[in-house]
Amino acid sequence: MCGRLSQYRGVHEFVAALSMPNALVNNAGDQPLELYNAAPSTQLLLFHEESGVLHADRVRWGWRPQWAKGDATPINARVEKVAHDPFFKEIWPHRVIIAIDNWFEWVYEGGPKKQPYLIRRKDREPILCAAIGQYPRYEKEPDEHDGFVIITADSQGGMVDIHDRRPVTLNPERAREWLDPATPKERAEQLVRLEGEPVEAFEWFKVDQAIGNVHNQGSHLILPISD
């Protein structure tokens, strides 16, 4: 999965997609997010559940443990090993959902630049991506080390022609189970390894090269272009 996505709807539209009757603590604001071209290190909307309450916060995309050497900050974690990887041990118990509108991949098709593609649900509903992270909680104030990573899996079907990795996405029922702190770690691992949504739920098309510049924003970036 390449490091670019869109999150332009408002918090309440994403909450509706989760179909959670829980009370909501909204620390992300009520206005549309309008992030059409979000890159790593962007503060993105995350959901977590705590004491029966759904929380919406803005948290940086990317996380590394404080003890890690080097400057690299992962933005993704491979589903094949995330549950048992010492690098992510600290945050594996802290499950979140990042609800997005679409994500982007780049494909070399000849010419001087790779061609960007937009991937979205066929029904245009929000995409509920499984993630883990370090984020504000009742007993933890926001701090500079907060961040999250999106869990990814091997692509399947036609999507593999766009990119060999894709985010693990969950239907609303599975997303609620992922968020539930009472869900055992073993079941959580089963959810992301075996019960993600199929590639048939998605469609993809070419978009303008302008998406490659992280400074560009606007709804024109998610419009299809012709060949």
Instruction: Give me the residue spans of the domains in the chain.
Output: 5-222
Cα separation, 142 vs 59, whole angstroms? 9
pLDDT of residue 199: 92
Compute the distance between CA of residue 200 and CA of residue 116 in angstroms, rounded to an integer: 20
Active-site annotation holds for 129: no
CB-based contact 120:127 (threshold 8 Å) = yes
The number of beta carbons lying within 10 Å of the beta carbon of residue 102 is 23
Give the pair of three-digit tokens for residue 5: 């996505």
Of 2, 49, 129, 197, which is the active-site residue?
Answer: 2
Active-site option among 13, 34, 80, 105 = 105
Q: What is the pLDDT of residues 15-36, one digit of tens each?
A: 999 999 889 999 999 999 999 9
In 3-state terms, what secondary structure has residue 178? helix
In a 10 Å sphere around its CB, with 0-12 CB exposed, 13-18 middle and 19+ buried, how is residue 41 labelled?
middle
The answer, as to whether pTM is greater than 0.85, is: yes
Cα angle, residue 75 at apex, residues 122 and 59 outer, rounded to 5°: 85
pLDDT tens sequence for the chain (227 residues): 679 999 999 999 999 999 998 899 999 999 999 999 999 999 999 999 999 999 999 999 999 999 998 888 999 999 999 999 999 999 999 999 999 999 999 998 888 899 999 999 999 999 999 999 999 988 888 889 999 999 999 988 777 678 789 999 999 999 999 999 999 999 999 999 999 999 999 999 999 999 999 999 999 999 999 86
- Give yes or no: 105 in active site: yes
Q: What is the pLDDT of residue 37?
A: 98
Alpha-carbon distance of 52 to 219, in angstroms, equals 35
Query: Class of 5-222 per CATH?
Result: alpha beta
pLDDT recorded at residue 157: 72
Mode of pairing for the β-strands spanning 23-26 and 53-60: parallel
Are 75 and 125 spatial neighbours (Cβ–Cβ below 8 Å)? Answer: no
For residue 76, which of 151, 11, 18 has the smallest C-alpha distance? 151
